[in-house]
Amino acid sequence: MSLPGLAGGRWRIDRPLLVLIHRYVGLTMAGFLLVAGLTGSLLAWNEELEAVLSPALFRVAPPGPEARPLDPLVLRARVQELHPQAFVARAPLKVEPGHSVTFRLFARPDASGALPELANDQVFVNPYTGEVLGARKWGDISQGPKNLMPFLYRLHFSLALGSVGSYLLGIVALLWTLDCFAGAYLTFPARQRNRAQRTPGKSWLARWWPAWQVRWTGGSYKLNFDLHRAGGLWPWAMLFVLAWSSVAFNLSEVYEPVMKMLFAHQPDGPASRNRAAPQLEPRLGWFEARETGRRLMAREAQAQGFAVQWEDALTYDPRRGLYSYRVHSDRDLSQHWGSTQVSFDANSGALVYVWLPTGAASGDTLRTWFVSLHMAALWGLPFRLFVCLLGLGVAMLSVTGTLIWWRKRQGRVKMAGKRMAENPAVAHTARLDGQ
């Protein structure tokens, strides 16, 4: 008794079956990847486009050449005072010259414990004067152009459908990850079954090389086919990174067990710290918490041999009673944010856990690379341009794959019609079957 797929004791992939799987998985994903690719190419320039669409919210002019921004914690306190119905849980600690500072608002529970809907959940502040420049409800496109980029992010991440869309795109990302390998395999030269089929003097790599090329003058079908095949081969590694990192973002139920089975990870923060009721006023105030974070971070930097480069943010989680102090260190990859973090008890200041983006555990290092590559957060302008073009490439692969299927379908329909015309008995049977 032989097992399907086995030949001579070795696994053999059924190529026609793999073609069918690749075709129909590709058709299933095409629309989703078209949206993800186009929105992703725009999101590579998110900060610049936000400033162009809403300069009054994102750009500020220093009042003088010697002007210095106010302490970010002072700005946070002012925003908190202006919005008593909300809680400002995060204070950015790095202020970019000429840029506003953004604070996120979270609804406070009312008397019944429910969270009321906030009219706006982002506030933009002039760091030199403390003046509020404006506000928006992140992602609400009904507020106009100031929410266009957040809305595109919602489309990119969840089709603007919330958790349902996020899970749906997570499933698509998982199919895409698997299809990366199926698509690559189908570009390999067909197996030569006997010596008569073999081309003298041509190695396997030489026979594979045409798959990397585009026949620009071979007609529309060949051009479309080559763009699809070569367009998936040249950036294959980065396409895999985009696909698997999307699984990490949207389908952690799959990503985390797989990666934790294969690679070491740093311990997660204690989940048992969740409180029955949020503690909105911990014993440590924000200024004292920042000093505690600085002290703990300096101690960990000395103990673990990394260097702090700049402060990034201080966050308080009232559900767990934890402050998290983040910096950008030489363990970070991103040029835009810091992920080196110490978290400590908001009442006692005792260290709870430390998280390093690279160098501490291989699984966390890989995830940091995946996230930084996906979000074009390293290597400056050239890599952002590459990611922008790659997003357009993903859209192109979706379109060319659909066109290949449509052309082949038309050919099959035409051939079936020809066979029926040549054989009236077959046509008569087909008509009876259709009745």
Q: What is the pLDDT of residues 281-328, one digit of tens each?
A: 999 999 999 999 999 999 999 999 999 999 999 999 999 999 999 999
If asked whether residues 163 and 49 sit together in one domain, one would say yes
Residue 415 lies in a domain: no
Residue 158 lies in a domain: yes
Residue 306 lies in a domain: yes
Asked which of 360, 390, 419 is the last residue of a domain, the reply is 360
The helix/strand/coil state of 372 is helix
If asked whether residues 153 and 214 sit together in one domain, one would say yes
If asked whether residues 22 and 44 sit together in one domain, one would say yes
Query: Reading across the β-sheet that carries 308-317, which strands appear in turn?
Result: 90-92, 308-317, 322-329, 340-345, 351-355
Residue 5 lies in a domain: no
- pLDDT at residue number 193: 66
If asked whether residues 300 and 386 sit together in one domain, one would say no
Q: Computed from CA positions of residues 137, 140, 141, 142, in that sequence, does the dihedral angle turn out positive or negative?
A: negative
Which tokens hold the place of 53? Answer: 């669409």
If asked whether residues 255 and 171 sit together in one domain, one would say yes
Residue 312 lies in a domain: yes
If asked whether residues 94 and 219 sit together in one domain, one would say no
Residue 241 sits in which domain range? 11-53+148-188+210-265+374-406
- pLDDT at residue number 194: 61
- pLDDT at residue number 11: 56
If asked whether residues 391 and 257 sit together in one domain, one would say yes
- pLDDT at residue number 203: 87
Residue 433 lies in a domain: no
- pLDDT at residue number 2: 40
pLDDT per position as a tens digit, 72-101: 999 999 999 999 999 999 999 999 999 999
Count, residues in the chain: 435
- pLDDT at residue number 144: 96
Per DSSP, the residues of 120-165 read: --EEEE-TTT--EEEEE-TT-GGG-GGGHHHHHHHHHHHTTSHHHH
Q: What is the pLDDT along the chain (435 residues), one digit of tens a residue?
A: 344 444 444 556 788 899 999 999 999 999 999 999 999 999 999 999 999 999 999 999 998 888 899 999 999 999 999 999 999 999 999 999 999 999 999 999 877 778 889 999 999 999 999 999 999 999 999 999 999 999 999 999 999 999 999 999 999 999 999 999 999 999 999 876 665 556 666 888 999 999 999 999 888 999 999 999 999 999 999 999 999 999 999 999 999 999 999 999 999 877 666 776 788 899 999 999 999 999 999 999 999 999 999 999 999 999 999 999 999 999 999 999 999 999 999 999 999 999 999 999 999 999 999 999 999 999 999 999 999 999 999 999 999 999 999 988 887 787 777 777 777 655 555 454 544
Angle in degrees, CA 320, 78, 153, rounded to 5? 65
Residue 79 lies in a domain: yes
If asked whether residues 176 and 238 sit together in one domain, one would say yes
If asked whether residues 97 and 242 sit together in one domain, one would say no
If asked whether residues 281 and 341 sit together in one domain, one would say yes
If asked whether residues 182 and 245 sit together in one domain, one would say yes
**CA neighbor of 364 nearest in space, from 275, 259, 285:** 259
Residue 416 lies in a domain: no
- Give the number of domains in the chain: 3
